Amino acid sequence: IHPDQYCVFGNPIAHSKSPLIHAAFALQTGQAMVYDRRLAPLDGFALAARTFAAEGGKGANVTVPFKLDACALATELTPRAQAAGAVNTLRFDNETILGDNTDGAGLVADIVRNAGVSVAGKRILLLGAGGAARGVVLPLLEQGPQEMFIANRTVATAEALVAQFADALAHPGQLRAGGFAQPDGQFDIVINATSASLAGDLPPVPPGIFGRHTLALDMMYGAQPTVFMDFAAQHGAQVRDGLGMLVEQAAEAFYVWRGVRPQTQDLLAQLRSAL
């Protein structure tokens, strides 16, 4: 029997850790599958994905810059993919292309299970309003935070997110938006979903948002802490990078494809020591 085929599409894609993660999950759960990386041309995602499906591919992950293209390609969207307006997981079932988004569930799993911090009743500050931020708003709201503030460089983009999720709120005012300087008082959880860290930049947030009980999570990861993580740690926060989110979104995608939920703890520790 041939193992089922999966892959991750991106451009660039050489750096992706997804093949390593899914190979480890397949081994751990005894699933007969292979998973490789595929570089799609910037203007050729749909063709690449359709070709892969026609060759027998069962599913794919999708990363930068194709999450919107994947959303357009899907013939069915899960509610969380619809809310995100972006797709990071595709499942090919005959003629149906299911589009899902597991980034938000991955972030919540990392915060709640791995970091041991509950979101219910907390004050959350989300920095950024791009694709990554949009994907995590609904899964975070579903945890029942007391309040969530979305701060972005372009304030109008953050305001549009608040308008989009108005119907999902437990009470008016649960979700607000503004610029980076606007949030006041301490927050329980601060999530950096901007791409500022890529350029070594820091969103100009007031240091008073951090306290000893604050969890500050940067969605970026690498060998060194980001400027955001350093800044948050200097002001007393507990810091965390995006590696846990990466592994958890992969576990959630694996579940969408295979109906089996892999363990993530050992793999996360292994990946961290290999960074």
- Residue among 154, 234, 265, 270 that touches ligand NDP (CB under 6 A): 154
Which residue stretch of 47-55, 146-154, 163-171, 227-235 sits at the interface with ligand NDP (rule: CB under 6 A)?
146-154
Choice between 119 and 158, CB closer to ligand NDP: 158
In sequence order, the 6+-apart residues with CB closer than 8 A to the CB of 122 are 145, 146, 188, 189
| Residue among 31 and 157 whose Cβ is closer to ligand NDP | 157
Nearer to ligand NDP, 54 or 156 (CB): 156
User: 92-122 in b/e burial notation, b at 16+ Cβ within 10 A?
Assistant: beeeebbbbbbbbbbbbbbbeebeebebeeb
DSSP string covering 39-99: EPPTT-HHHHHHHHHHTT--EEEE-TT-HHHHHHH-SEE-HHHHHHT--SEEEEETTEEEE
The conformation of residue 242, written as its DSSP 8-state character, comes to: S
- Structural contact between residues 109 and 248, judged by C-beta atoms closer than 8 angstroms: yes
Task: Decide: is 182 part of the binding site for ligand NDP (CB under 6 A).
Answer: no
Q: Please give the Cα distance from 211 to 112 (Å, whole number).
A: 19
Give the three-state DSSP class for 121. Answer: coil
Residue ranges in 197-216 that form contacts with ligand NDP under rule CB under 6 A = 198-199, 201, 203
Judged by CB under 6 A, the chain residues 219 through 238 that form the site for ligand NDP are: 219-220
Q: If binding means CB under 6 A, how many residues of this protein chain bind ligand NDP?
A: 25
* Per-residue contact string for residues 112-141; x = within reach of ligand NDP by CB under 6 A: ----------------xxxxxx--------
Bridge partners for 91 per DSSP: 59, 98
Residue 17 interacts with ligand NDP (CB under 6 A): yes or no: no
* Residue 17 annotated in active site: no
Does 101 contact ligand NDP by CB under 6 A?
no
End-to-end CA separation in angstroms for the chain:
35
State the residue number with the nearest CB to ligand NDP.
Answer: 130
* Residue 249 binds to ligand NDP (criterion: CB under 6 A): yes
Please select the residue that binds ligand NDP; options are 246, 251, 253, 271, rule is CB under 6 A: 246
Residue 179 binds ligand NDP, judged by CB under 6 A: no
Catalytic residues: 67
Binding residues for ligand NDP (CB under 6 A) = 103, 128-133, 152-154, 157, 193-196, 198-199, 201, 203, 219-220, 242, 245-246, 249
